[in-house]
Every structure is written in C-alpha cells, then in structure tokens.
Amino acid sequence: MRKILNILSSGPILAGAAFILYIQTLAPGVWGFDSAELATGVFTWGIVHPPGYPLYLIIGKIFAFLVPIKDLAYRLNLMSAFFAAITVYLVYLVIQQVTGKRLAAWVGAGFFAVSNQFWQMAIVAEVYTLHTFFLALNLLLVLHWHKTGHWRFIYAFAFSFGLSLANHTTGLLFAPGFLLLILSTSTTFLSNWRKWLLASFFFLLGLIPYIYLPLRTLANPELDYVKAYYGIDLTTLKGIFWMVSGQAYRFFAFGYPLSEVFNEGVRFIGLLWRNYFGIGVLLGVIGFTWKWSKKWKLNIGLLLIFLGNTIFFINYRVLDKDTMFLPAYLVWAIWAGEGISYLSAGLVSIMKDYPFRLVTEKIVLVSMVLAVILGASMNYRWLDMSRNFGKQGVALEVLETASPNSTIIAQWSSAVMLEYYQTVEGLRTDLKIINRSRVDVALYYKYWSQGWKPEEILRLISQNDLQMVYAEIKHRTVYVIEYDPLFLSGFEYLPQGNYYKLSLLDKIEPAP
C-alpha cells in the first residue's frame, strides 16, 4: 500500500496525468488571439508582436519538426501542453525541496496543474507555459544553490534566466526576487568576481536567441510585425531594445488612473481565488505566514517575484492580462504546498500521543489529493476545448465565400487566423487581410509618441479607419468580420452569413 501510494504521489505521475488531461482537452487546431500569430511566426520564421518571443519561435519550429502530428497549429498547442506538464513536475520538485513532503508537493503542484488559467494556457499555442517552465526551473536551481552552495547551480540558473528572457522579457520582473534568494545564501557571490563573471557569461549565452530578431528581419520574412507597422529596424541595437522592451505597448504600462488600480487589484484577487477554488488561496495564506521567522528569506524572495509580476500586470491595461499572472499563480502554488505541509505537521503534533496520528495525517493528505481531482473534474467542462473551433468556422467561411480579390477587415483574433490560413495553409492568397487592431495600435503608438491626448488619438484612429475603408472600397469588395457602429456613418452592413459586406452609402466622403 505504501509503495503504491509512493508511486502515485510521485512527480512524474502527476506531470503525466496533467499531460494526459491537457491532451484530452487540447484545442483541435488554430486558435485566435496571439496563438494564430505565433503559429504563423513559427511557420515563416517571422517577427511577431513585441517583445518578439524569439526563443518560443525557435523551439516551436524544432518541436513542430520533431512531432509530426496533424497540422502546425495542433503541434504548437501540443507544445504548450508539453511545457505545462514539465512545469507541473518542476513545481512539484520545488515544493518538495521547500517542504520535504511528497504529498504536499503533489497537492500544491496538482492544484496549480488544474487551475483554470494555467490549464487554459496549456491547451492553446501560447508563450506562457514556456514562461512558467523557466520560472519553475530557475526557482529549483536557486533552491539547489541554497541547499548545496555549488556554483554550477548558479551558472545553470544564469543561463536559464537568460533563456527565459529570450522567451518573455517580463521575466526581468523576477530579478529582484532571484537576487535576494541567491544573496541570502552567500554574499561571497559578489566578492568572487571570477565566478560572477562566469555567471554573467552564461547569462549572456542565454540571451543568444535574440540574434534571431536581426537575422530574420534581414531575411524579410512574410510576417514582420515591426517593420510593416512601425518601421523599426531590428538590425540596430536601438531597434532590438525597442522590440524587447515592448515600447510599442508602453502606453499600456501603468495605464490605469489611481481610482481604477484598486479595482484591478480586487479583480486579480478574484482571479486568484477562482483559480485555486478558494481553498488553495487559504492554504497559500497559511503557507506564507506560518513559521515566518524560520523561512522569511525564502518567503521574501518568493514575494518579490509574486509582487514583481502582479504589480506590473495589475497596472497593465490590456485585454488579456489575466493570462499574464501565471508566474504569480505558480508562486502561490508553492505557498499552498507549504500550507498543506504545515497543516499535516500540526495535525501530527496534536495527535502525537495517539496511535492513529499517521493514519489521520494520510487521510487529510489523501483528501487533499481527492480535492485536486475534484477541482480537475469541475474545471473540465469549462476548459475542454477539444471540440471548440472558436473563430475557425467564421474564418473558413470567409475564405470560402468572399469574392475574389476582395479586402477583409478584421480585428486581431479573426485577422491572425485568416493570416494563418493564407500563409501556412496557402488558402485564398488573393484576399487582402487588414488586421485593424495592428493598424490601430501602431497609430495609437505614433500619435501617443507625438504627445496627442487619448481622446484625440481615438478620433484620429476612427477617421483613419473610415478613410481606409473608403480607399479600399473604391477598388475592391470590402468585408468586415466584426460589426462596428463607426462604419454606419458611411456604409451599410449587408450580412453574409457570419460576416458582413460593406456597401457605400450615398454620402459625401469626409475630407482627409
């Protein structure tokens, strides 16, 4: 019985179970939002939206080559599941390292594995499970350094941290936390300049994937977001800095007035609460506060990582920010694991004079394992995307029925999907796809950089969009996928199934 329990509570079994769960619920094909753009980026060795995600594009290409299953979009969905499963295993190891308890590690990592935000990112092509993979790996390496004092863990960490930035630059927000965790072990790190230099060398080595950006921009790939919309030269250091620091989206950072920040903070707590079914949040609070004096260095380090992520993204005014809190959720899983560990230890302590103490402890832990399984079954119906084709249907309908050589104007999610089908599948290359979101954000950036006020910028963008349609409709049939009242001022919407054909009203064009 003990042997079976040991096997079942092992990290690989948990990661394997999570992988099967993700495969079962994996999106069947190309998905909207950034997924389709990333897939097109992988296919074309292209330049996608800032900060560029060069490591993701390189690994995606390799993974898609090595795993010849179905189409490219499916393979990249599978890659997310793969890195998610490894992340779960690494989180398990981290919690085991911190608590010394396998079942606590299983439960903490298990809650993380079935949490809705992480699960959602594990079943579509996205950069986030690679991001959490690196965070968990880096935490594990630092904890090994903490435990052993072996420099090889610092070198490995430096290399891995560099690589993580080449996937997602916001990993830089974790730097203060990692620095504290490293220095809290030994301050000789700074005085030993030779080893420090070697660590720096490994860090720079990890940044090498960034060479992808200038190399590929020189090759003029079919998809080059930056050159096409911003005119930025990625062969210069200035251009690369512009890209990796996300200058194009700078106006989103700290984009809320103070009055709204509180609400955004509350919203984040709500997301965290739902993510861990409430119970994981309570366990995390226990794990964070209990025996504070014994592990305050570790907790402060983790807290800095947690806050680095949450403070930045709570203040980041974007639509898909909920997915960007995954690092904070991962840190919370460690605290939840600690909470379980303390509760079970407390129980043993209360029951120390009684013969059933170990059995009682096991009952509690097995109940928590069942709680994770219950959580998975509750979330399954919300997160199963195996039969969810999203906007694929509309995109294929457009590609099938739109008039030859017409123009399709679409918002981001639909537009990137159409681009995917055109570029990757070679469908309807006669159509001109205008990604209105890309055009509008680039314009916003342009006017914002020139110091225009937001309301003025929005007016100019609306004017630009109208003129764009007027210019297109003179020569081509114009379709729009999303209804927008803006166009009612000059055009009539003629329903074409799930999208619209625009027809010019008998009005005078606005002056340019």
Q: Should residue 371 be labelled a site residue for other proteins when binding is judged by CB under 8 A?
A: yes
Nearest distance in Å: CB 287, other proteins:
15
Q: Should residue 195 be labelled a site residue for other proteins when binding is judged by CB under 8 A?
A: no
Instruction: Please state the three-class secondary structure of 375-440 as a single string.
Output: HHHHHHHHHCCCCCCCCHHHHHHHHHHCCCCCEEEECHHHHHHHHHHHHCCCCCCCCEEEEHHHHH
Nearest distance in Å: CB 379, other proteins:
6
Which is closer to other proteins, CB of 15 or CB of 124? Answer: 124
Residues 6+ positions from 253 with CB-CB distance below 8 Å: 246, 312, 315, 316
Residues 6+ positions from 11 with CB-CB distance below 8 Å: 89, 92, 93, 96, 105, 106, 109
Q: Should residue 252 be labelled a site residue for other proteins when binding is judged by CB under 8 A?
A: yes
Fill in the amino acid letter for 361: E
In the set 34, 224, 338, 472, which binds other proteins (CB under 8 A)? 34
Nearest to 8 by CA among 379, 369, 375: 369
Q: Using CB under 8 A, which residues numbered 435 to 474 contact other proteins?
A: 437-438, 440-441, 444, 454, 457-458
In the set 152, 378, 449, 503, which binds other proteins (CB under 8 A)? 378
Q: Output phi, psi for 285, to 5 deg.
A: -65, -45
Write out the E strands in 262-414: 407-410
Q: Using CB under 8 A, which residues numbered 91 to 130 contact other proteins?
A: 116-117, 120-121, 124, 126
| Contact flags string 200-239 toward other proteins, x per CB under 8 A | ----------------------------------------
Which is closer to other proteins, CB of 186 or CB of 247? Answer: 247
Q: Should residue 381 be labelled a site residue for other proteins when binding is judged by CB under 8 A?
A: yes
Which segment (84-92, 218-226, 236-244, 389-397) binds other proteins by CB under 8 A? Answer: 389-397
In the set 5, 347, 471, 473, which binds other proteins (CB under 8 A)? 347
Which segment (14-22, 187-195, 317-325, 470-478) binds other proteins by CB under 8 A? Answer: 317-325
Burial class (CB in 10 A: 0-12, 13-18, 19+), 377: exposed
Q: Should residue 360 be labelled a site residue for other proteins when binding is judged by CB under 8 A?
A: yes
Paired strand residues for 504: 491
Q: Output phi, psi for 150, to 5 deg.
A: -80, 130
Q: Using CB under 8 A, which residues numbered 407 to 426 contact other proteins?
A: 411-412
Range 227-256 burial, b when 16+ CB lie within 10 A, else e: eebbebebeeeebbebbbebbbbebbeeeb
Q: Output phi, psi for 362, to 5 deg.
A: -65, -40
In the set 11, 28, 29, 32, which binds other proteins (CB under 8 A)? 32
Nearest distance in Å: CB 493, other proteins:
7
Which is closer to other proteins, CB of 18 or CB of 154? Answer: 18
Burial class (CB in 10 A: 0-12, 13-18, 19+), 187: exposed
Strands 478-480 and 499-504: antiparallel
Which segment (64-72, 156-164, 209-217, 378-386) binds other proteins by CB under 8 A? Answer: 378-386
Nearest distance in Å: CB 21, other proteins:
15
Q: Should residue 354 be labelled a site residue for other proteins when binding is judged by CB under 8 A?
A: yes
Q: Should residue 346 be labelled a site residue for other proteins when binding is judged by CB under 8 A?
A: no
Residue labelled with tokens 């302590």: 349
How many angstroms separate the CA atoms of 413 and 411, rounded?
Answer: 6
In the set 319, 349, 429, 511, which binds other proteins (CB under 8 A)? 319
| Contact flags string 163-182 toward other proteins, x per CB under 8 A | --------------------
Q: Using CB under 8 A, which residues numbered 40 to 59 contact other proteins?
A: none
Residue 181, CA distances (Å) to 212, 315, 404 in order: 31, 26, 60
Which segment (85-93, 145-153, 240-248, 352-360) binds other proteins by CB under 8 A? Answer: 352-360
For residue 119 the two structure tokens come to: 């699960």
Q: Should residue 29 be labelled a site residue for other proteins when binding is judged by CB under 8 A?
A: no
For residue 375 the two structure tokens come to: 């959580």
**How many residues belong to the site for other proteins (CB under 8 A)?**
71
Q: Should residue 374 be labelled a site residue for other proteins when binding is judged by CB under 8 A?
A: yes
How many angstroms separate the CA atoms of 9 and 407, rounded?
Answer: 56
For residue 356 the two structure tokens come to: 């059933």
In the set 164, 323, 341, 422, which binds other proteins (CB under 8 A)? 323
